[in-house]
A and B are shown apart, each in its own frame.
Chain A
Amino acid sequence: MKDLAEAALNAAQVKGAGYADVRLDEHVQQDIIVKNGQLAAVSDDASEGFGVRVLVDGAWGFAGSARLDKHEVEEVVDRAIRIARASARVRSAPVDLGPPVTSRGRYRTPLERDPFSVPLAEKVDLLLRADAAMGAVKGVSIREGSMEFLRQRKVFASTEGAFIEQELYEAGAGIEATATSPDEVQNRSYPNSFGRHQGSGGYEYVTAMQLDRHGQRIGEEAVALLTAPQCPSGVKTLILDASQTALQIHESCGHPTELDRVFGMEAAYAGTSFMTPEKLNHLQYGSPQVTITADALTPTGLGTFGWDDEGVPAQQSFLIKEGLFVGYLTSRETASVLGQQSNGTMRADGWNRIPLIRMTNVNLQPGDSSLEQMIAETKDGVYMETNRSWSIDDKRLNFQFGTQLAYEIVDGKRGRLLRNATYAGITPEFWNSCDAVAGRSEWKVWGLANCGKGQPPQTAHVAHGAAPARFQHVKVGILK
């Protein structure tokens, strides 16, 4: 690996690159799906290759290949240089990366049990037990459970002298029960939706979920939702469970604070951002209860690592401090435009992609309330749990979310189960209406393994520390 990295960097410099970096990446993934009491799928995928990123005449070029030999390294470097020269013909201002990054070291995800050493039978047995628990509920028509395990070994080296080796592990799992009637399809999933809950770590992350102990409950909830009344329309107090709060952070704080979006680098695809530089340190983004950090050091987070894919060390920085917008997620190139240094958020989803600014673990800091207390203090509200649908505009202002489950709250008490619950709002209005966040004991790190961005498309694995939170005067019940 080291030989190939050095060969690529030498070749790039000889051929005229002012800066070059190379990433060699080996990725192994195991997926297991159990459906309706049967083992439906087991797959074992492996991918390896390298990518070379070069700056020539102030413009970027990148090329990657799965062929790991010295001849291919030469060709790929030639290709990257030629692409960079073509970029330079149509570039705006030359790229300035700011001060050099010379990180050296090794990082390995802390874990107790290597998921790839756990027998397949043990994994399948756990999923089948959870499946049986869902299947014991009359009216559940589809049951599905899945696990996913990842191991990524990567080497990063640059012409500035950085050389980093990392070995990252992820483990994830989840179950889902579906019930249908002539007009309805209702799902309940655990611990989260989007197929599974995932974190950095070993198999212990999966066993801690106790999937088999939640199968019956979600099965019963899915069936009950078929005949539950529709979520009423109105302006009400809204209490979100921690997982939905996590997605709210993701869409309405994580994405708009990505500085590449702010500068238009994603304008034709993922969009831009309403959080433009003149608002930095001026915009009252949320209420004083709202403090949000980007923290690549959070244990078990999917955005936890040793260094980002530009060699910048993992770190914590503030995005929102007691409601005030104070920081961005940055790269070396974008930070230097603001006279800052990167806070280490550049990640690529494989050897064949360039790094982009991606959320690390974007966390809402815990407050001093509790879900129980929030409900007790609410006269007329709705409690919503587990995401079902999500949509937000290209500037990250106008959003609408739906959840799998909801309860009405009347005079401080949880009332009827409600189906097809939705809520909508405008980002700063919504976060400024936040008047309570639950405390540390209800705070949890939620992994999202499906964050899309970039062209060609990339999928990032990110996380959000979140606790249940309460918002006032929110429009709920968009479906009538």
Chain B
Amino acid sequence: MKSMEASRLTEEGEVKRFVDKLLQASPAAQTEVMVTEWDSALTRFANNGIHQNVAERDVSVRVRVVKDGKTGVASINQMNESAAADVLKRAIAIADLQSKGEVVPMPGPAKSRPVEAWSDTTAAATPEERADFVEAICAKAKRAGLKAFGAFSTGAEQFAIANSLGVYHHHRSTEATINSVVMGEAGSGYADRGAINVQDLDKDEIADEVIDKAQRNQNAQPIDPGVYEVVLEEYAVAEMLEFMSFTGFSALAVEEDRSFMRLGERITGEGVTIWDDGLDASGLPAPFDFEGVPKQRVDLIKKGVATGVVYDMMTASQEGRHSTGHGLPAPNTEGPFAVNLFMQPGSVAKPDLVSGIKRGIWVTRFWYVRIVHPKLSIITGMTRDGTFLIENGRVTRPVKDLRFTQSMLEALGGTLAAGKTTKLQIGEFIGASRVPALHLKAFTFTS
């Protein structure tokens, strides 16, 4: 039975032959082919039982051609000879129909450093294994008189990119993620984990965390909104970092004068150091970007000073520099994107972050965060699944969820301490962050 459920990705040799053939068939001056193939499954649970359980196998073949200074992009989700002919024909037709425009340059060949991101165990995970994992969480919640909700996913993916200038890169990866909300009659808790190897996910550990949080977060009482000292758990810190990346860490955002990054200037607290590193195996590594450029580490904020932004081929060529390997798939008008973020940890054990706080708020996670003002880095959102009052250095009682409206740079400007451990937080759509919990001096809750 196991072999049927094992991930069924096409052999790399076959992918390469398909890509080479497509490049050879192209009449365009320059051609790029990107193949992404995945086989993934997700088991979803609610009220202590599985209620949705799905699997899919799909592929995307994306072709970019540049012909007489004109660009065309087309994609198809089949990897065979007729699909190759069809997608190439459509890309050429789009290019032919245009007038000359700005061309995003394609990179030449450059070696990328291989990074291991594959686990046979994850690739071969079965529905029974996913059900067993989920059952363990549900059973523990039930014994505690609570209800568990969540999703457990496992998947395998391969990504190949090649162009007519000689670039060919291939990378394969696996990912396993579990998230869970556990609810009682009057409150809830949350926990999640992500890993390359599904065996690194400990069902008892995550069940204990989410159940403990739910038990402590019952019968929360309202508290007046206002400015509070806070401890943000890693879930909340990672979300804040992702929004910083989204609004500010790209060269295009700086060029278009909509970023909060003022390079060379101190923009936030001295204790804050943030970088992007797609090659760090403790994140969710990928050796090259969606334009086929090897990834480089970029220091974004160093001791509170804005030190760098990420580049793709377009922004790099406009500024006469090299891409840092942060390009997105063509056609892309959004600019480059930092997706492998890291924040420097501190020296304080996470539970000790509350010591010294006379009156403050402990935040488990944020919810529905949106940008209110990109240049001032102001976001709004709610707290969720575990918001607690801190009094005289101790977490004392749960409080009702609060809405915050807060400048991220100002909040990080008041970083008083960072946890000495970090957590890998896998993004909802792309990338991952590795961050510590933080103790911040001031955070504005507006309702």
Residues of A that sit less than 8 Å from B by CB: 31, 33, 35, 38-49, 51, 59-67, 75, 78-80, 82-87, 89-92, 119-121, 124, 141-142, 144, 178, 180, 183-185, 263-265, 267-269, 271, 352-354, 388-394, 398, 400, 402, 420, 422, 424, 455-457, 475, 478-479
Contacts and interface: CB of A to CB of B under 8 A. Distances in A.
Contacts of A46: 74-77, 86-87, 90
Nearest to B372: A389
6 contacts: A65-B56, A66-B77, A66-B78, A144-B333, A354-B52, A479-B373
B257 to A, nearest CB: 4
Contacts of A39: 98-99, 101
Contacts of B58: 47, 49, 64-66, 352
Q: Which of B49, B371, B378 has the most chain A CB atoms closer than 10 A to its own CB?
A: B49
Contacts of B289: none
A90 B382 contact: no
B437 to A, nearest CB: 22
B431 interface: no
Given A83-B41, A457-B428, A60 B52 contact: yes
A267 B149 contact: yes
A35 B333 contact: yes
A268 B179 contact: yes
A49 B77 contact: yes
Interface residues of B, number: 87
9 closest Cβ pairs, A-B complex? A41-B331, A92-B49, A86-B127, A268-B149, A267-B149, A86-B131, A352-B56, A180-B257, A87-B50
Contact of B53 (A87, A180, A398, A478): A87
Interface stretch (B108-116, B234-242, B362-370): B362-370
A392 B447 CA distance: 12
B102 interface: yes
A402 B53 contact: no
A180 B40 contact: no
A38 B373 CA distance: 27
A30 to B, nearest CB: 9
Interface string B3-40: 01100000000000000000000000000000000001
B51 interface: yes
A267 B150 CA distance: 8
B74 A424 contact: no
Interface string B324-341: 000000111100000000
B53 A60 contact: yes
B40 A45 contact: no
A59 B50 contact: yes
Most B CB atoms within 10 A — which of A47, A51, A178, A400?
A400
Given A79-B4, A120-B98, A142-B256, A185 B375 contact: yes
A424 B445 CA distance: 13
Given A46-B76, A90-B131, A60 B55 contact: no
A63 B56 contact: yes
A456 B97 CA distance: 37
Interface of B: 1, 4-5, 40-59, 71-78, 86-87, 90-91, 94, 97-99, 101-102, 126-128, 130-131, 134-135, 138, 147, 149-151, 153, 179-181, 183, 256-258, 330-333, 367-376, 378, 380-382, 384, 401, 403, 405, 428-429, 446-447
A197 to B, nearest CB: 19
B380 A389 contact: yes
Given A44-B74, A92-B47, A400-B405, A180 B256 contact: yes
Scoring A62, A85, A90, A354 by chain B CB atoms within 10 A of each residue's CB, the highest score goes to A90
Contacts of A78: 4
Contacts of A184: 375
A41 B64 CA distance: 11
A64 B75 contact: no
Contacts of A38: 101-102
Most buried by B among A43, A124, A424, A457: A43
Contacts of A59: 50, 53
B97 A120 contact: yes
Contacts of B378: 479
Given A66-B77, A90-B45, A393-B384, A124 B405 contact: no
Contacts of B403: 391, 393, 398, 400, 424
For B43, B256, B257, B376, which residue has the most chain A Cβ atoms within 10 angstroms? B257
B401 to A, nearest CB: 6
B446 A478 contact: yes
A25 B47 CA distance: 32
Contacts of A40: 101-102, 331, 333
A444 to B, nearest CB: 24
Given A389-B371, A391-B370, A478-B405, A90 B183 contact: no
B257 A43 contact: no
A86 B73 contact: no
A456 B53 contact: no
Contact of B127 (A82, A265, A353): A82
Given A142-B256, A180-B257, A424 B98 contact: no
B94 A268 contact: no
Nearest to B55: A63
Nearest to A184: B375
B53 A84 contact: yes
Contacts of B74: 43-46
A75 B4 contact: yes
Nearest to B369: A391
Given A40-B102, A43-B73, A185-B258, 8 more contacts: A42-B71, A79-B55, A120-B98, A141-B256, A180-B258, A400-B405, A424-B446, A479-B372
Contacts of B42: 455-456
B372 A402 contact: yes
A178 B183 CA distance: 44
Given A33-B333, A39-B98, A144-B333, A66 B57 contact: yes
Contacts of A420: 372-373
A99 B160 CA distance: 48
B372 A269 contact: no
Contacts of A268: 44, 46, 149-151, 179-181
A354 B54 contact: yes
A153 to B, nearest CB: 15
B359 to A, nearest CB: 23
B75 A45 contact: yes
Given A185-B374, A271-B367, A90 B135 contact: yes
A66 B56 CA distance: 8
Given A265-B51, A391-B380, A67 B57 contact: yes
B332 A41 contact: yes
Nearest to B405: A478
B54 to A, nearest CB: 4
Contacts of A479: 372-373, 378, 405
B184 to A, nearest CB: 13
Contact of A92 (B48, B91, B367): B48
Nearest to A63: B55
A398 B382 contact: yes
A393 B370 CA distance: 12
Given A64-B57, A83-B54, A354-B54, A394 B101 contact: no
Nearest to B368: A391
B98 A392 contact: no
Given A39-B98, A66-B57, A424-B446, A60 B73 contact: no
A431 B296 CA distance: 51
Contacts of A65: 56-58
B148 to A, nearest CB: 9
